[in-house]
Amino acid sequence: MGSSIRTLAGKGGAACALFVLGVPADAGFIEDSQGSLTLRNFYFDRDYKGESNVSARREWAQGFILNLKSGFTEGPIGFGLDLQGMLGVQLDSSRDRAGTGLLPVERGSGEAQDSYAELGITGKIRYSKTELHLGTVMPRLPILISSPARMLWQTFKGGHLRSTDIPGLSLQAGYLNRMNQRDSTDYQKIAIAGPNGRFDGTAESDEFLFLGGDYALGKNLTLSYWHARLDEIYQQNYLGAIHQLKWGPGEFKTDFRWFLSDEEGEGKAGSVDNQYVGLNFGYKLGGHRLTVGGALSSGDSAMPYIAGSEPHLISEYAISSEFLNADEHFWHVRYEYDFAAAGLPGLIGVARFMKGTNAELPERLGGGNREETERYLELSYVVQSGPLKNVALRLRNSRYQNSFAPNATMRDDNETRINVDYTWKLW
């Protein structure tokens, strides 16, 4: 399956798109199409504390994301075409504050670009309940989450196959050979994330393969298994389980995540040897939701993941650290309140405390027994009516501290992010 998808992704994406453009506009192709324009205003402010050669990363920018999705042509095999255009415009930046991930930075001057844009084209084929997408794809899988954490999204080139023909079972497979980061318009080979020198971040590959799926075992339990391989760098297996049940007047949720990772082939990024086991327990009662959980990272290295992507960990949604260093012990408490229960629909508040201990860093950064903490507050609101209906405001603030060595790339900081988003449905 991998070699077939690889061939299609390498040669068939453009051919598929050209073929679809030449297909008569069947009813499904037009009638099932949809278009939207998302406006995303993003302010990012990371104020570094303590000893640091950079005092702050602070920028403000406006993003435009146009999504045009066709339906499928009629017949046993349907064809379709998706287009995505993204534009980022600088509103405020300077050379000493650039590098937030909102805007590309000129290598020579160190200044952020005034604007940048890209166009993604995806051809798609459907048979029964199986779809193959070729071209620009944005996977959201346990072993690879295309990051939406800045103004514009991270994208990949390749092929992505999805099937739900078997009731209760969702199967997916894919081949990717290029990635484009959130603040870039240039597609590059796929690299491993390497902050603090945990891996050689310059190691690249032009082959990322994945295969896996989710199985709903009844209404309350979902099991997952995934396998991924970044050629000549690392391979990874994932097992997950989510269980939900009514318990008393509320709902109880258990979320289990297990990753097993080691180097693949020549191991160009260095030794990879990691087991990560995480568990969350959550309880929802009315507008209240309380989640507590923890994770253990063991082995000789940190857990690997693709550069710029979002690792699917118990620490997800942390905005200053991933808490996945070698031998790191992590725990957190998260409280969320939906003010709809108090008569204010659209308003949600979140408070969270995260702590990692026993982290093992490279020897040049001081070795092991390091700690890191993050305190996180979030308030979001979606306008419910009137001329501004569906405008979404999101305010996030975190205070991050660690005991890492002074020359570590992850430094103490106070970070604020403000988003104003609006999606206009064109048709």
Average pLDDT value for residue range 374-381 = 98
Q: Are 99 and 44 in contact (CB under 8 A)?
A: no
How confident is the model over 396-408, as a mean pLDDT?
Answer: 87
pLDDT band at 20 (very low <50, low <70, confident <90, very high): very low
Q: Would the pTM count as exceeding 0.75? A: yes
Contact 289, 255 (CB under 8 A): no
- For residue 192, what is the DSSP state? B
Number of H helices, E strands in the chain: 3, 22
> Once rounded to an integer, what is the mean pLDDT over residues 378-384?
98
Q: Which residue has the higher pLDDT, 55 or 373?
A: 373
What pLDDT sits at residue 325? 94
CA distance 106 to 108: 6
Of 2-16, 32-46, 168-182, 339-353, where does mean pLDDT reach its minimum?
A: 2-16
Give 67's pLDDT tier (boundaries 50, 70, 90).
very high
pLDDT in tens, 134-191: 999 999 999 999 999 999 999 999 999 999 999 999 999 999 999 999 999 999 999 9
Least Cα distance to 155 among 84, 220, 64 occurs for 84
For 150, the 3-state DSSP assignment is coil
Burial grade of 292 (CB within 10 A; 0-12, 13-18, 19 or more): middle
- Per this entry, what is the length of the chain? 427
Domains of the chain with CATH codes: 2-425 (2.40.160.10)
Q: What is the DSSP string of 315-351?
A: TTT-SS-----BT-EEEEEEEEEEGGGGT-TTEEEEE
CA distances from 233 to 60, 147, 207, 306, 315 (A): 36, 21, 10, 11, 24
Considering the chain, what percentage of its residues have pLDDT values greater than 70?
A: 93
Helix (H, G, I), strand (E, B) or coil at 245: strand
- Cβ neighbours of 423 (radius 10 Å): 15
182-237 tens-digit pLDDT: 999 999 999 999 988 889 999 999 999 999 999 999 899 999 999 999 999 999 99
Give the pLDDT band of residue 18 (cuts 50, 70, 90): very low
Beta strands in 17-76 (DSSP E): 34-48, 56-69
Residue 255's nearest CA partner among 355, 332, 144 is 332
Query: How confident is the prediction for the chain on average, in pLDDT?
Result: 92
Mean pLDDT confidence for 357-363: 90
